[in-house]
Amino acid sequence: MPELPEVETIRRGLEGLIVGQEINSVKVLFSKQATAKDLAVIAGQKVEAVKRRGKVLLIELNSKLTLLIHLKMTGQLILVQKSGDRFGGGHPTKSMQDRLPDTSTRVIFTFKSGDTLFFNDQRKFGWVKILPTGLVDGESLIAKLGPEPLEEGFKLADFKAQLAKRSVPIKPVLLDQTTVSGLGNIYVDEALHLAKIHPRRRANMLSAQKVEALYQAIPKVLNDSLGYGGTSFTNFVNHLGFMGDYLKHARVFKREGQLCPVCNTTIQKIRVGGRGTHICPKCQPAPKV
């Protein structure tokens, strides 16, 4: 479930807290998601930058190595700081300290400072791996990613061309990371509602106006969510263990039975491409087919 806004929320949080810190040790508790032998080399290295590509978090280390982390659906990355009062009261360091590690903890990174970074993942779909920084762009998943929707490289003309090539419903096209990177089930539903497009409309049948509305809706919903610290409805928490607030402000996602914020029609939940999908039947009229 962590999509672009959730991973970016974690990235921003971690960036301010671990850049410059030296890693002391790494403990792998579940070897299918991370290889202890490979990760051992990062002991003694310093964090130089925390980046993101699509939904993948990239922690760059000195000696030109990068730690790649994908949270998939239930992954969490939580930093427990040694000194709980370093950033003033109120953050959950104390309680997280008591709670972690827990049964979903898969990897534990310990810093020289005494801070600890926990990679938790209830469903074990996520992964942690280490690569030479120069090979990150060629990594199988990253090499295929489409443009970052919040950056300059996301161009209307390219987006149009991508959609024109696809005859399937627009929803799976947006979920496909090669079209645009970072979207998942939440923000696809939100963007399609904002653009007033039914998720079953064929991508190559959308009018130029609809494609443009969608092109604008995508960064809009992502930025809105970033402003609320992402979306939490099952597992997502940020780098300090806090939940995101976007769901309270969502347009349609997880709101079946409630009223559309635009026209007050009852929101429905349907299935598109095997995915639970939320729509306003009035704002997003079904294609004729």
Partner DNA sequence: CACTTGACCTGTCCGC
Partner DNA sequence: TGCGGACAGGTCAAGT
Interface positions with DNA (CB under 7 A): 1, 3, 32, 54-56, 70, 72-73, 103, 122-125, 140-141, 144, 165-168, 172, 175, 177, 184-186, 269, 271, 273-276
Secondary structure class of 46 (helix, strand, coil): strand
Clarify whether 3 is annotated catalytic: yes
Phi, psi of 248 (to 5 degrees): -65, -25
CB of 82 to DNA, least distance (A): 29
CB of 270 to DNA, least distance (A): 10
Separation of alpha carbons 133 and 250, rounded Å:
37
Q: Radius of gyration over alpha carbons of the chain, in Å?
A: 20
Please spell the DSSP secondary structure of 92-134, one letter per residue: THHHHHHH-S-TTEEEEEEETTS-EEEEEETTS--EEEEEEGG
Place of tokens 């991973």: 7
Secondary structure class of 198 (helix, strand, coil): coil
Nearer to DNA by C-beta: 45 or 204?
Answer: 204
Clarify whether 275 is annotated catalytic: yes
Nearer to DNA by C-beta: 70 or 239?
Answer: 70
Secondary structure class of 76 (helix, strand, coil): strand
CB of 142 to DNA, least distance (A): 8
Nearer to DNA by C-beta: 93 or 177?
Answer: 177
Nearest alpha-carbon partner for 73 in 24, 14, 6: 6
Nearer to DNA by C-beta: 46 or 254?
Answer: 254
Q: Are 267 and 260 in contact (CB under 8 A)?
A: yes
Identify the active-site residue in 210, 275, 281, 282.
275
CB of 113 to DNA, least distance (A): 31
Measured N-to-C along each axis, helices 156-164 and 208-227 cross at an angle, to the nearest 10 degrees, of 120
Identify the active-site residue in 5, 6, 8, 55.
55
Residues that are catalytic: 2-3, 55, 275
